């Protein structure tokens, strides 16, 4: 009787190795920022792209602006006389701006400026740094005005040469960026949908979508979650859930928590600029649990929403299986599965695109 109790306790300890725990699943954004929309024309264009940061709550829309401007131009390329250039050319460091090239037929060329000249002054202002001339051209000069340049030409000739340049013009594209943060919902201990969401303000929503109300965007989707299997992806905009439009990520997340607690299925309608409207069913439920079971030399199981692995026999020699969900920027799920038995005597691998079977370590066939 005593031996039986000891055996029962040992067996119970082994089986107790199986447990369930909460873990942090993998969240997927997109390989490239999602373009939400573009507005404007060639003279002034704004592009809106969605970005999800690493902490998963820092989600923002990056507004990239390209604005065409006409600026004053003298038609030559100038570089500062750094120490290395000064040694090469036999000059004093930062004694002027070195003329690297001159635009053929441009203002400087017409005034008699040549490559290799050293610009000492412009309208009496010493030219040590390129930014000094750029500032004069940006803020004090208009196309058609004249500038007096004092030049030094050649290494030996130390006498200055004065020339007058009639300022021309050039069209430039001025880029700029700003980030519009999205308001995330409050942190919750239990997740049911598998979406990382945030509220886009009404002003930005009007600029991108033409709607004068806030809207909810999806910055990321947890791998293997209900949203992942429903075909919801980062960059989608949520139009409605069970027929209701939500203007707040907090309100929508509260609904997911309530409906997910009772295991409800909900209809979700999303939209992306490139692919249009998409309707799917979201089977809400917990996906953040991992199950681990171990019976040494007999059976092992490690399972979560995104990957599952089990084995029979020592080191899986009798049979083993592994499967994982993988990144899917398209709406269709992406996975990789592998099953083998008898130390690889039979092996089968498959993905959505293809499958391969091997028998007796030699014979194999593949289908696509």
> How far lies 286's CA from each of 186, 247, 301, in Å?
18, 25, 19
Helix (H) or strand (E) holding 78: strand 76-80
Q: What is the pLDDT along the chain (368 residues), one digit of tens a residue?
A: 444 444 444 444 444 445 767 666 777 766 667 888 888 888 889 999 888 866 667 889 999 998 888 889 999 999 999 999 998 888 889 999 999 999 999 999 999 999 999 999 999 999 999 999 999 998 889 999 999 999 998 765 567 889 999 999 988 888 999 999 999 999 888 889 999 999 999 999 999 999 899 999 998 899 999 999 999 998 899 999 999 999 999 999 999 999 999 999 999 999 988 789 999 999 999 988 889 999 998 999 999 888 999 999 998 899 999 999 988 878 888 999 999 999 889 999 999 999 999 998 778 888 87
- pLDDT score recorded for residue 15: 46
Residue (of 246, 247, 238, 248) closest to 268 by Cα position: 238
| Topology of the domain covering 75-166 | Pdz3 Domain (2.30.42)
Counting Cα atoms < 13 Å in the Cβ hemisphere of 141 gives 24
Give the chain's length. 368
* 21-67+181-283 and 75-166 have identical folds: yes
Dihedral angle computed from the Cα positions of residues 268, 270, 275 and 276, in that order, rounded to the nearest 10 degrees: 100
Q: Name the superfamily (CATH) of residues 21-67+181-283.
A: PDZ domain (2.30.42.10)
pTM: 0.72
- pLDDT score recorded for residue 34: 82
Dihedral angle computed from the Cα positions of residues 27, 28, 29 and 30, in that order, rounded to the nearest 10 degrees: 170
Question: Which three-class secondary structure state does DSSP give residue 347?
Answer: strand
Question: Which three-class secondary structure state does DSSP give residue 236?
Answer: coil
Sign of CA dihedral 213, 214, 219, 223: negative
- pLDDT score recorded for residue 11: 44
- pLDDT score recorded for residue 305: 87
The residue ranges of every structural domain in the chain are 21-67+181-283, 75-166, 289-367
Sheet containing 363-367: order of strands: 19-22, 289-295, 299-303, 307-312, 319-325, 335-341, 346-350, 355-359, 363-367
């Amino acid at each position: 009787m005593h031996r039986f109790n000891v055996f029962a306790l040992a067996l119970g300890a082994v089986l107790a190795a199986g447990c369930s725990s909460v873990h942090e699943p993998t969240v997927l954004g997109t390989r490239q920022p999602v373009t939400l929309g573009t507005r404007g024309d060639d003279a002034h264009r704004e592009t809106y792209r969605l970005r999800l940061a690493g902490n998963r709550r820092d989600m923002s829309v990056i507004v990239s602006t390209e604005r065409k401007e006409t600026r004053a131009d003298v038609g030559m390329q100038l570089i500062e006389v750094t120490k290395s250039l000064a040694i090469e050319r036999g000059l004093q460091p930062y004694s002027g701006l070195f003329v690297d090239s001159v635009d053929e037929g441009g203002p400087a060329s017409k005034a008699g400026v040549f490559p290799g000249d050293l610009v000492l002054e412009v309208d009496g202002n010493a030219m040590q740094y390129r930014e000094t001339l750029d500032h004069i051209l940006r803020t004090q000069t208009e196309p058609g005005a004249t500038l007096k340049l004092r030049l030094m030409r050649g290494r030996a000739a130390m006498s200055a040469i004065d020339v007058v340049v009639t300022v021309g013009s050039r069209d430039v594209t001025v880029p700029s960026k700003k980030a519009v943060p999205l308001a995330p919902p409050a942190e919750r201990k239990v997740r049911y949908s598998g979406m990382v969401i945030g509220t886009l303000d009404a002003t930005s929503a009007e600029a991108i979508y033409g709607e004068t109300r806030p809207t909810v965007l999806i910055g990321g989707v947890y791998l293997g979650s209900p949203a992942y299997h429903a075909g919801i992806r980062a960059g989608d905009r949520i139009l409605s859930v069970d027929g209701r439009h939500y203007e707040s990520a907090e309100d929508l997340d509260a609904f997911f928590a309530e409906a997910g607690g009772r295991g409800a299925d909900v209809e979700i309608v999303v939209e992306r600029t490139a692919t249009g409207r998409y309707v799917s069913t979201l089977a809400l439920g917990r996906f953040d649990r991992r199950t681990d079971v171990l019976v040494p030399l007999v059976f092992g199981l490690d399972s979560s929403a995104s990957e599952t692995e089990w084995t029979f026999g020592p080191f899986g020699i009798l049979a083993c299986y592994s499967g994982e969900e993988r990144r899917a920027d398209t709406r269709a799920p992406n996975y990789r599965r592998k099953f083998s038995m008898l130390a690889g005597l039979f092996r089968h691998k498959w993905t959505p695109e293809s499958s391969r079977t091997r028998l007796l370590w030699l014979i194999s066939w593949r289908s696509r």
